[in-house]
């Protein structure tokens, strides 16, 4: 646990809500540092963290479920303010001696609450006024613990918000962290600044300053290797390190032949021209393609690419000389220990980043972005002067176009997909959608269909368009792109990409589909 340098920090204890990361993002947006830890984090660890305030998240369980997440009262009784949200509030009421019971009707969605207070948590609100909030719960508080008072109520929740008279324990039945609670951010800010007394010290410039100082100190005279992919996370990591340790950093860019058109050249030029950074390009296109010959199974493709990447990267790194560290662009969502009540989840896809490398090469990891959410990593990129086009880049999978070519990856099929993808991205940019959607890309299907061009019968490939909205890639929905734009994309692809006579649109959400097709 870290972050003391920012003066105040909030601890979020996670009871498994789908909104826990959103609470953290709202706190960070208010320039207060926070970390998410599982609800069963030991009291000693919590004391070590020394939080300025604690937030108990919501969660899917009912207090009365067998196996419902419970914590010791001592865990939250550290003398610092506590805010319970949804399950967190019910749990707070329960351990403080109140009565929680199943509500007759599950309350889900927007609901009006009547606010009965205008201080502390509800500072800036008007007593007696209705506010809209987002509810999502099955249990409700029937009787307050002694020493507590009601701050707001709704039709289904007589206790929609509460606090104790000492002003240290607060609870809200609704979700202030979601946008459907219009004044939710204000409630959270009241908790942070009025109740906990936090100061807004967490800014990206303070992060950059501290990180550069820490990196200098940590690396000393050793050498660091960093793999760059052209994506935001690895680029920000590389530039941050370059600012800290200069020539002691060696960057390696492996062109696996599965990138989009012009991509490898663009990345090389950017680092060379804008940063005067030396990037070692390893062109292994042919090597990767020969290994992928005849392979059609998605998992096998991913495994081959991951393995070959390690081989190629390792060989180049050894050629450059002995290094002690490997830098990676790991972000906070990959680090948060997730709360699971259902046991480990199944492997859906083997993700390829640089997994396995540190062990193979006996390198220690440096992960300067591991405290940051994606939007914060982007802000750091802007702070470091990276161009907006790079900072706002859509995610691109490690195995590249191989997982967007269903069936065998061949030079011809790569060419078709690259041409179609270029047109799709061009139209999405022209329509000003590039930064609004999460990802937009083309997929080449392993089927041919009959068409007619001029008077000729054709029998050619099909391209699928995948354009999705998402917050974090865990869930996604297909973007409702205006029909005229879809029509233009389809026309341009069919008219200009040789070998394609049909374009289809993917209208599946995740789950049950995934974003990539393989
Ligand atoms: P799926 O297809 O699982 O993708 O819904 C979720 C997000 O992850 C990206 N993705 C990857 N990113 N290495 C990566 O770094 C990978 O192997 C990989 N596979 C998928 C995908 O583009 C989407 O944003």
Q: Where are the domains of the chain?
A: 9-195, 204-391, 410-505
Q: Which two tokens stand for residue 99?
A: 């009565």
Residue located via tokens 């997994």: 355
What CATH number is given for 9-195 in this structure? 3.40.50.880
Q: Which two tokens stand for residue 34?
A: 């926070």
Closest CA to 418 of 452, 444, 399: 444
* pLDDT per residue as tens digits for the range 500-512: 999 999 999 999 9
Q: In what order do the strands lie in the sheet with 279-283?
A: 279-283, 249-255, 224-227, 325-327, 364-366
* pLDDT per residue as tens digits for the range 42-70: 999 999 999 999 999 999 888 888 888 88
**pLDDT at site 354:** 57
Tell me yes or no: is domain 410-505 CATH 3.40.710.10. Answer: no
Triad 16, 21, 24: Cα angle to 5°: 120
Q: Is the CB of 232 under 6 A from ligand 1?
A: no
- Under DSSP, is residue 45 helix (H, G, I), strand (E, B) or coil? helix
Q: Is the pLDDT of residue 259 over 80?
A: yes
Q: Which CATH architecture has domain 204-391?
A: 3-Layer(aba) Sandwich (3.40)
Counting Cα atoms < 13 Å in the Cβ hemisphere of 262 gives 5
**More confident: 3 or 377:** 377
* pLDDT per residue as tens digits for the range 151-185: 999 988 899 999 999 989 999 999 999 999 999 99
How far does the centroid of ligand 1 lie from the alpha carbon of residue 397, in Å? 5
Beta-carbon contacts of residue 383 (< 8 Å; ≥ 6 apart): 204, 205, 208
Q: Which two tokens stand for residue 80?
A: 């610092």
How far does the centroid of ligand 1 lie from the alpha carbon of residue 349, in Å? 8
pLDDT band, very low/low/confident/very high, at 275 (cuts 50, 70, 90): confident
**pLDDT at site 353:** 60
**More confident: 275 or 498:** 498
The pLDDT of 91-113, averaged and rounded, is 89
Q: Is the CB of 378 under 6 A from ligand 1?
A: no
Q: Is the CB of 397 under 6 A from ligand 1?
A: yes
Closest CA to 517 of 268, 302, 208: 302
**pLDDT at site 5:** 56
Q: Whose CA is nearest to atom 17 of ligand 1?
A: 351
Q: Which two tokens stand for residue 52?
A: 């300025």
How far does the centroid of ligand 1 lie from the alpha carbon of residue 373, in Å? 16
Q: Is the pLDDT of residue 498 over 70?
A: yes
* pLDDT per residue as tens digits for the range 179-230: 999 999 999 999 999 999 999 999 999 999 999 999 999 999 999 999 999 9
**pLDDT at site 54:** 97
Which numbered atom of ligand 1 lies nearest the CA of 351? 17
Q: Is the CB of 471 under 6 A from ligand 1?
A: no
Q: Is the CB of 514 under 6 A from ligand 1?
A: yes
Q: What are phi and psi of 27, to 5 degrees?
A: -65, -45
Answer for the pair 403, 516: CB distance below 8 angstroms, yes or no.
yes
Beta strands in 204-304 (DSSP E): 224-227, 249-255, 279-283
Which numbered atom of ligand 1 lies nearest the CA of 394? 24
* CA–CA distance, 78 with 430 (Å, rounded to integer): 54
Residue located via tokens 């490690």: 398
- Under DSSP, is residue 404 helix (H, G, I), strand (E, B) or coil? coil
The pLDDT of 305-325, averaged and rounded, is 94
Q: Whose CA is nearest to atom 18 of ligand 1?
A: 397
What global pTM score does this model have? 0.88
The pLDDT of 314-340, averaged and rounded, is 88
Query: Which one-letter DSSP state was computed for residue 279?
Result: E
Same fold, 9-195 and 204-391: yes
Q: Which two tokens stand for residue 281?
A: 């390009």
Which numbered atom of ligand 1 lies nearest the CA of 398? 13
**pLDDT at site 355:** 63
Q: How many CB atoms lie within 10 A of CB 87?
A: 29
Residue located via tokens 């919590």: 46
Q: State the burial class of residue 459 (Cβ atoms within 10 Å of its Cβ: 0-12, 13-18, 19+).
A: exposed
Q: Is the CB of 352 under 6 A from ligand 1?
A: yes
Which numbered atom of ligand 1 lies nearest the CA of 513? 5
**More confident: 353 or 411:** 411
Q: Is the CB of 399 under 6 A from ligand 1?
A: yes
- The rounded percent of the chain whose pLDDT value lies above 70 is 96
Answer for the pair 390, 235: CB distance below 8 angstroms, yes or no.
yes
Most informative mutation of 259, 351, 466 for ligand 1 (most atoms within 8 A of CB): 351
* Mean pLDDT, the chain, whole residue set: 93
**pLDDT at site 343:** 47
Q: Is the pLDDT of residue 1 over 50?
A: no
Residue located via tokens 């209208």: 507
**pLDDT at site 2:** 46
**More confident: 87 or 349:** 87
Answer for the pair 141, 99: CB distance below 8 angstroms, yes or no.
yes
Termini Cα distance of the chain: 36
How far does the centroid of ligand 1 lie from the alpha carbon of residue 404, in Å? 11
Answer for the pair 141, 96: CB distance below 8 angstroms, yes or no.
no
Active-site residue set: 86, 175, 177
101-115, 295-309, 490-504: which range is least confident on average? 101-115
Q: Is the CB of 510 under 6 A from ligand 1?
A: yes
The pLDDT of 2-22, averaged and rounded, is 83
Answer for the pair 398, 358: CB distance below 8 angstroms, yes or no.
no
Answer for the pair 241, 235: CB distance below 8 angstroms, yes or no.
no
Q: Is the CB of 303 under 6 A from ligand 1?
A: no
**pLDDT at site 64:** 84
pLDDT band, very low/low/confident/very high, at 352 (cuts 50, 70, 90): low
How far does the centroid of ligand 1 lie from the alpha carbon of residue 518, in Å? 9
How far does the centroid of ligand 1 lie from the alpha carbon of residue 398, in Å? 8
Q: Is the pLDDT of residue 266 over 70?
A: yes
Q: Whose CA is nearest to atom 12 of ligand 1?
A: 397
Which numbered atom of ligand 1 lies nearest the CA of 514? 5
Distances (CA, A) of 452 to 260, 436, 457, 494, 501: 29, 36, 5, 11, 8
Q: State the burial class of residue 488 (Cβ atoms within 10 Å of its Cβ: 0-12, 13-18, 19+).
A: middle
Q: Whose CA is nearest to atom 4 of ligand 1?
A: 515
Q: Which two tokens stand for residue 388?
A: 């907006």
**pLDDT at site 4:** 54
* pLDDT per residue as tens digits for the range 14-33: 999 989 989 999 999 999 99
Q: Is the CB of 351 under 6 A from ligand 1?
A: yes
């Amino acid at each position: 646990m870290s972050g003391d340098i920012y003066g105040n920090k909030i601890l979020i204890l996670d009871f498994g809500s789908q909104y826990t990361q959103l609470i953290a993002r709202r706190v960070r947006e208010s320039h207060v540092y926070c970390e998410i830890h599982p609800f069963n984090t030991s009291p000693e660890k919590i004391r070590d963290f020394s939080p300025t305030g604690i937030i108990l998240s919501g969660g899917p369980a009912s207090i009365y479920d067998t196996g419902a997440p419970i914590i010791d009262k001592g865990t939250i009784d550290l003398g610092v303010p506590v805010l319970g949200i949804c399950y967190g509030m019910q749990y707070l009421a329960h351990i403080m001696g109140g009565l929680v019971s199943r509500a007759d009707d599950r309350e889900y969605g927007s609901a009006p609450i009547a606010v009965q207070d205008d201080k502390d948590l509800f500072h800036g609100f008007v007593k007696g006024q209705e506010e809209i909030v987002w509810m999502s719960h099955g249990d409700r508080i029937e009787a307050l613990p002694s020493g507590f008072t009601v701050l707001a109520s709704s039709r289904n929740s007589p206790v929609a918000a509460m606090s104790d008279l000492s002003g240290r324990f607060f609870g809200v039945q609704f979700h202030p962290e979601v946008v459907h609670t219009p004044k939710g951010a204000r409630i959270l800010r009241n908790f942070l600044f009025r109740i906990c007394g936090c100061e807004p010290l967490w800014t990206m410039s303070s992060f950059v300053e501290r990180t550069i100082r820490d990196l200098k100190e940590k690396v000393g005279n050793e050498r660091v290797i960093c793999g760059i992919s052209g994506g935001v996370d690895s680029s920000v990591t590389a530039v941050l390190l370059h600012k800290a340790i200069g020539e002691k950093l060696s960057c390696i860019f492996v062109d696996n032949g599965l990138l989009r058109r012009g991509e490898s050249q663009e990345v090389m030029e950017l680092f060379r021209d804008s940063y005067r950074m030396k990037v070692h390009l390893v062109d292994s296109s042919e090597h990767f393609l020969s290994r992928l010959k005849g392979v059609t199974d998605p998992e096998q493709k991913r495994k081959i690419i991951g393995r070959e990447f390690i081989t190629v990267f390792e060989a180049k790194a050894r050629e450059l000389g002995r290094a002690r560290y490997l830098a990676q662009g790991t972000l906070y969502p990959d680090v948060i220990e997730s709360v699971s009540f259902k046991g480990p989840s199944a492997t859906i896809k083997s993700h390829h980043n640089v997994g396995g490398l540190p062990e193979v090469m006996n390198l220690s990891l440096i992960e300067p972005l591991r405290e940051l959410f994606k939007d914060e990593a982007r802000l750091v990129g802007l702070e470091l002067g990276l161009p907006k086009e790079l900072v706002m880049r859509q995610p691109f999978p490690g195995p590249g176009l191989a997982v967007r070519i269903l069936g065998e990856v061949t030079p011809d099929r790569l060419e078709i997909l690259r041409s179609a993808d270029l047109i799709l991205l061009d139209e999405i940019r022209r329509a000003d959608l590039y930064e609004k959607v999460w990802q937009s890309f083309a997929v080449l299907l392993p089927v041919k269909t009959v068409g007619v061009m001029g008077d000729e019968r054709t029998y050619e490939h099909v391209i699928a368009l995948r354009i999705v909205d998402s917050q974090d890639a865990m869930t996604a929905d297909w973007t409702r792109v205006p029909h005229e734009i879809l029509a233009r994309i389809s026309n341009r692809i069919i008219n200009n990409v040789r070998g394609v006579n049909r374009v289809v649109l993917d209208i599946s959400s995740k789950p049950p589909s995934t974003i990539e097709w393989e």
